[in-house]
Amino acid sequence: MRLDGRTALITGAAGGIGSETARCFAAEGADVVLSDIDLQGGTAVRDEITALGGRASCIGADLTREEEIVSLFATVMQEHGRLDILVNIAGGDREPAAGIEDICAGNIGMNLDLNLASCMLCCREAAKIMKPQGYGRIVNMSSLVYRGSANQFSYAASKGGVFSFTRSLAMALGSSGITVNALAPALVEVEAFRKALGPERWRALAASCAERYPLGRIARPADVARAALFLASDDAAFITGQILEISGGARL
């Protein structure tokens, strides 16, 4: 198994992508620590994994609060004594499909806090643990809209920031045996997107994207989870500072 003996922290683990990543990592032998602001949802995923014989625990945390991030990593160390893998999946869009006339400082700040600042602070805490170990794998969650989007201004900016930060961190941590990469999915079939857009808009968007993507469908959570597994494993030991687009050829 590719992650046997590794301890992996996955944020946003109650959501569609996070929960699938947790299942995927546990199936590959990792001792998985799930974290989410939705403690009930994270606990349900933990119970599902342990019922199948995997090793998993769950810690509730609001990653827009720095003190809770610090506490999260302290708890991981207290309970596991090490951290080999960090996958930063927690995030979201607080002003989906907002026109330029409609964006506001409050929502801009929330998107930057939720998607970018939380990622940076989690990486900071992970680096404190991984550098003395001389080993680590960090996988951050960007988005295909890191390239720009005509109706996701602050979200796209935050995900572009994740990519720039990932490259910077890869430069800083490479000499310590730590790789840092990012994932950039296109549209993924998850409940959070359906809720954010509403059923009618979601169906229209999903159909439109599926028609445009060369592979003829939108992404599934497992598509993203398997890419995260690759980057978190030693199969990707000589890959760092990269952004892996999971897009079905959307940008060809």
Is 155 among the residues known to form the active site?
yes
Residues near 41 by beta carbon (within 8 Å), at least 6 away in sequence:
14, 15, 19
Catalytic residue (choose from 135, 146, 155, 213) = 155
Query: Would you give the DSSP letter of residue 31?
Result: E
Residues near 249 by beta carbon (within 8 Å), at least 6 away in sequence:
213, 214, 215
Residues near 85 by beta carbon (within 8 Å), at least 6 away in sequence:
3, 6, 7, 8, 9, 25, 30, 136, 137, 138, 139, 232
Asked if 34 contacts 56 with a C-beta cutoff of 8 angstroms, the reply is yes
Active-site residues, by number, are: 155
